[in-house]
Amino acid sequence: MTGAWVGVDPGATGTGVVARFGPDLIWWTVVTRASDEDVVPGRGVGVGARYVGAVVDSVRQALRMAPDGARLAVEGVVAPGGWKHGKRDPIQPGTIAALGIVLGGVLATWPDALVIPPNHHGEALLVTYPPQLVTPAERRLGLNRPARHSAALNHARSAWDLAGVAPGFERTATSIRKAARR
């Protein structure tokens, strides 16, 4: 087993995929949904087979680029609570449903993927991310500040964080399962 992980931050319109080996970025992409794929325009959540297929293809590419034995970690979902970043935020059921479709596509293809709950992934100090995952505009304003959600790269940064926390999360989950069997 290697220390390589592929992290996936699924999203309704953008999904980050990162292959990581310890502190080294091996490969990354952000898959963007270019248009709604609803059969009847405006009567769905916009996510369809083309977007989910592009996400799955990108995860396959990341796994090919990573060393043999790389594991897959994907961010899960939690029930929306009406708050985001400490402020009241209306629940967007369509966005949650679209995210669930993308997450389901990844888990249907890799059912043994480690599902990690959301926990502010992609919001660490910019200096903690590989240079490829920081925009020139962000660099100009300084790296010793938290990453914001304004850059399309945020999905890749979130995937980077997921791949970084996955080994510890996996060890903790394994310990909890073992303790529960006793």
Q: What is the per-residue pLDDT across 103-137, written as a single tens digit (0 to 9) for each?
A: 999 999 999 999 999 999 999 999 999 999 999 99
Q: Does domain 4-181 have CATH number 3.30.420?
A: yes
- pLDDT of 176: 87
- pLDDT of 1: 45
Residue 24 has pLDDT above 60, yes or no: yes
Reported pTM: 0.91
Which position has the token pair 């399962």?
Answer: 177
Q: Name the packing angle between helices 93-109 and 49-65 (round to 10°).
A: 50
Q: Which of 68, 74, 61 is nearest to 27 (CA)?
A: 61
Question: Could you tell me the CA-to-CA distances from 84 to 33, 71, 96, 111, 157 in Å, in that order?
Answer: 23, 30, 14, 29, 18
| Paired strand residues for 84 | 87
CB 65 within 8 A of CB 19: yes
Listing from the earlier edge strand, what are the strands of the sheet with 14-21?
24-32, 14-21, 4-9, 71-75, 114-116
State which of 13-22, 79-88, 139-148 shows the largest mean pLDDT. Answer: 13-22
Question: What are 27-84's pLDDT values in tens digits?
Answer: 999 999 989 999 888 889 999 999 999 999 999 999 999 999 999 999 999 887 777 7
DSSP code for 146: B
d(CA 114, CA 74): 6
Specify the length of the chain in residues.
182
d(CA 153, CA 148): 10
d(CA 99, CA 10): 6
Give the chain's radius of gyration (CA, Å): 17
Would you put residue 120 in left (φ > 0), alpha (ψ -120 to 50) or beta? left
- pLDDT of 2: 63
**DSSP string covering 86-125:** TEE----HHHHHHHHHHHHHHHHH-TTPEEE--SSTT-SB
